[in-house]
Structure 1
Amino acid sequence: MRFLIVGVALFLFLYPIFHPLSLSDLPHRPLGNSVGFYIYPGEGVNLVASKLEGMGLVKSAELFIEEAKRVRLSFRAGGYILKEGMSLYDIIEALKRRPTLEKVTIPEGLTASEIAKILLRKEIISSESEFLLLVNKGKRYFKSFKYIGDIPSESVEGYLFPDTYYLPRRSSPKGVISLMLERFERSITEEMLKELPKLGFSLHQVITLASIIEREGQKEEEYPIISAVFYNRLKRGMRLESCATVGYLLPERKGRLSINDLKIDSPYNTYLYGGLPPGPICNPGLKAIRASFFPAKVDYLYFVSKGDGSHHFSRTYEEHIEAKNRYLGGAGQRNP
């Protein structure tokens, strides 16, 4: 009997050494909802592990790092569909494969309606109306997101961050909007927020101005100067007189506004109403947002298009009229 006990003990001690368990031998949890997981260019194993743990997809970032290094896992930038409850082994196997999500690029300066059309065309969403309903009532549906609770209106127009996304087809509109709002949160830095008291504006107002800069400007190097023009006009109590804000009211974009367009009675018409419009007129990109936080230190009050994508900036109205006559024959509309 003593020899039998000793033999069993030796077996139990030695078997795991010569026959170790692999991750595939571990019991699997029941699988839950599909989750989009994104690896961006340059992200390494530590950051990927931290994101997986933060999303509740793995219980231990350290264990994931150890196993990823053991199998020499090489990450490819892109989107992956994982499932809640997947084992560590299955997650690593999924990340070994090519990304499975659709690449969608949302350009800067689009409205929510224009974004919805891109997503519908790419078959990311199946209902444009549902997407727009969620955007227009976004404060109710996305109040857990940082900054959204402070929006004075219901819409999250202006906060759908333009970027390249990796999305599964037939995604829920709410999930897509959540991802864009999350990306917006990541774009706002402490450095930016420290500027708000100096500017004397709320974050919502700065994003509103960024959306106007995005639609008015064509050359990114001019964004801070355009920003300064608008801030200078606001400080002096001058109307912004931005064509872009009037264009937001029209069913379709126009190359040149009519006199009747400029007479549309709306708080978004900055030819008729002073101050900023009630909210953003598009969803601005990072460079326009930064320009709104960090305007150039110039004293210009006017600008006019040169017709080549750039602008002529003026300090006085007389200079501005001269520039309009030079570049537009006096018929220009870009008239701050």
Structure 2
Amino acid sequence: MSLFKPWWRLALLLTIAGLLVAATLAAPYVTFVSSAVTPPQEQLVIVAPGSSFATVSKQLRAAGVVTDTRYFGWLARWKEAAGRIRSGDYMFRSAATPGEILDRLVKGDVYQYPLTIPEGLTLEEIAARIEAKQLGNAERFLAAAHNPELLKALGIEDGSAEGYLFPETYLIPKGYGEKRLVRRMVAEFRKRLPADFAEAAKKYNMTLHELVTLASIIQKEVARIDEMPLVSAVFHNRLRIGMRLQSCPTVIYGLDEFDGNLTRKHLETYTSYNTYRFGGLPPGPISNPGTNALAAAANPAEVKYLYFVARGDGSHAYSTNLRDHNAAVRRYQLKR
């Protein structure tokens, strides 16, 4: 006698057949989900605000990041991720499974663009560079760098963030925000400020802002790191005896326009930054100095130099008196 009635046999066969069909259909999906895909080359996928999941899936498929938009949609529905994708620029370089890609899109793990700020740039030059890299608007950045409330919150006593935007390579996503970028650059300045800087300001009877101003002048005057303490000593010595700094970069900073040719007329121009006309330091920094210039301002060389002149090879000749300085000028500048 049979253990199963005919209809039970049929039901069992149909169930087995159904499972086999399901397994056959599921196999490609399982393979899709578990397989990491390596793009043919570095791929940047820009997810615009408001993009539908279908649109994003097609972008990823076109970039070679996913192999099947239908399976990718199934996975997104299962993970409840379809409506949680964040806009932004996504860079795909290495192998990743569809699940890993979805996780990146949901977390907003967007590409960080490198923004390199060299030492000695002015605030306006930094703003222009940010806009050129399409990482912000120059006018909005300048406005943020002059925002009284923001400056107060950042502990900057001047009316500008000039001098406090630390030169570094920053990794910035699109849409980072100009105020946020100012905060980040000032935070980096605080982090990288030499440990003895505040104490040095007291030692030389300066405010921290004044010592930053001096560092910014040193940064513009000399490129060689080994000479920065010497230039610092020249300016410290001049300040101590009440001698004008007579720094050309300060004059240039105060000009509305400058074509690269500094003339006597420029040296006679009336601006608060003209250290040929006025004694002491200018009212604020003239550039954004790096660590070496900041350290040099805080630690001038122990020399009695009062003058220096460019030799024409990137180095400078230093003198303790005007006679020797004039001789150096004739030798290196006038070639006599």
- Do 1:229 and 1:301's aligned partners in 2 also have CA atoms closer than 8 Å? yes
Structure 1 residues 219, 144: closer, same or farther in 2, change over 3 A? same
Q: How far has the Cα of 1:123 moved from its partner?
A: 0.7
Match in the other structure for 1:114: 125
Trace 1:54-93 onto structure 2 (pairs within 5 A): none
- Do 2:151 and 2:160's aligned partners in 1 also have CA atoms closer than 8 Å? no
- 1:228 equivalent to 2:237? Answer no
Provide runs of 4+ in structure 1 moved above 6 Å. Answer: 96-99
Deviations 1:74-129 (A, max 9, x none): xxxxxx99xxxxxxxx9xx65x999720011100001111001111111100x211
Q: Secondary structure at the match of 1:194?
A: helix
Match in the other structure for 1:277: 282
Q: How far has the Cα of 1:175 moved from its partner?
A: 0.9
What is the CA–CA distance in structure 2 between the aligned matches of 1:313 and 1:218, rounded to whole Å?
15
What amino acid does structure 2 have at the position aligned with 1:290?
Answer: A
Q: TM-score, normalised by structure 1?
A: 0.66
Match in the other structure for 2:216: 211
What amino acid does structure 1 have at the position aligned with 2:150?
Answer: Y
Structure 1 residues 163, 131: closer, same or farther in 2, change over 3 A? same
Q: How far has the Cα of 1:328 moved from its partner?
A: 0.7
Match in the other structure for 1:317: 322
What amino acid does structure 2 have at the position aligned with 1:110?
Answer: L
Deviations 1:162-205 (A, max 9, x none): 10100012321101111101101101244222222211111000
Q: Secondary structure at the match of 1:234?
A: helix
From the CA coordinates, give the structure whose radius of gyration is larger.
Answer: 2
What amino acid does structure 1 have at the position aligned with 2:267?
Answer: L
What amino acid does structure 2 have at the position aligned with 1:123?
Answer: Q
What is the CA–CA distance in structure 2 between the aligned matches of 1:255 and 1:225, rounded to whole Å?
25
What is the CA–CA distance in structure 2 between the aligned matches of 1:133 and 1:144, rounded to whole Å?
15
- 1:193 equivalent to 2:184? Answer no
Match in the other structure for 1:334: none
Structure 1 residues 239, 261: closer, same or farther in 2, change over 3 A? same
- 1:134 equivalent to 2:139? Answer no
What is the CA–CA distance in structure 1 between the aligned matches of 2:191 and 2:201, rounded to whole Å?
17
Trace 1:237-316 onto structure 2 (pairs within 5 A): 237-316=242-321
Q: TM-score, normalised by structure 2?
A: 0.66
Structure 1 residues 252, 266: closer, same or farther in 2, change over 3 A? closer
What is the CA–CA distance in structure 2 between the aligned matches of 1:117 and 1:295, rounded to whole Å?
33
Trace 1:15-94 onto structure 2 (pairs within 5 A): none
- 1:202 equivalent to 2:207? Answer yes
Match in the other structure for 1:61: none
What amino acid does structure 1 have at the position aligned with 2:189?
Answer: F
What is the CA–CA distance in structure 1 between the aligned matches of 2:276 and 2:335, rounded to whole Å?
18
What is the CA–CA distance in structure 2 between the aligned matches of 1:231 and 1:141, rounded to whole Å?
32
Q: How far has the Cα of 1:299 moved from its partner?
A: 0.6
- Do 1:161 and 1:183's aligned partners in 2 also have CA atoms closer than 8 Å? yes
- Do 2:196 and 2:298's aligned partners in 1 also have CA atoms closer than 8 Å? no
Q: How far has the Cα of 1:275 moved from its partner?
A: 0.1
- Do 2:310 and 2:316's aligned partners in 1 also have CA atoms closer than 8 Å? yes
- Do 1:102 and 1:167's aligned partners in 2 also have CA atoms closer than 8 Å? yes
Identity among equivalent positions (%) equals: 42
- Of 146, 154, 158 in structure 1, the residue corresponding to residue 159 of structure 2 is 154
Residue ranges of structure 1 left out of the alignment (5+ in a row): 1-79, 82-89, 332-336
What amino acid does structure 1 have at the position aligned with 2:236?
Answer: Y
What is the CA–CA distance in structure 2 between the aligned matches of 1:325 and 1:305, rounded to whole Å?
11
What is the CA–CA distance in structure 1 between the aligned matches of 2:335 and 2:239, rounded to whole Å?
25
What is the CA–CA distance in structure 1 between the aligned matches of 2:317 and 2:109, rounded to whole Å?
49
- Do 1:142 and 1:178's aligned partners in 2 also have CA atoms closer than 8 Å? no
Trace 1:3-18 onto structure 2 (pairs within 5 A): none
Residue ranges of structure 2 left out of the alignment (5+ in a row): 1-89, 92-99
Residues paired across the two proteins, number:
241
Q: How far has the Cα of 1:218 moved from its partner?
A: 1.6
- Of 101, 105, 121 in structure 1, the residue corresponding to residue 116 of structure 2 is 105
What is the CA–CA distance in structure 2 between the aligned matches of 1:163 and 1:169, rounded to whole Å?
18
Match in the other structure for 1:28: none
Deviations 1:253-302 (A, max 9, x none): 55441011011101100000000000000111111011001111111000
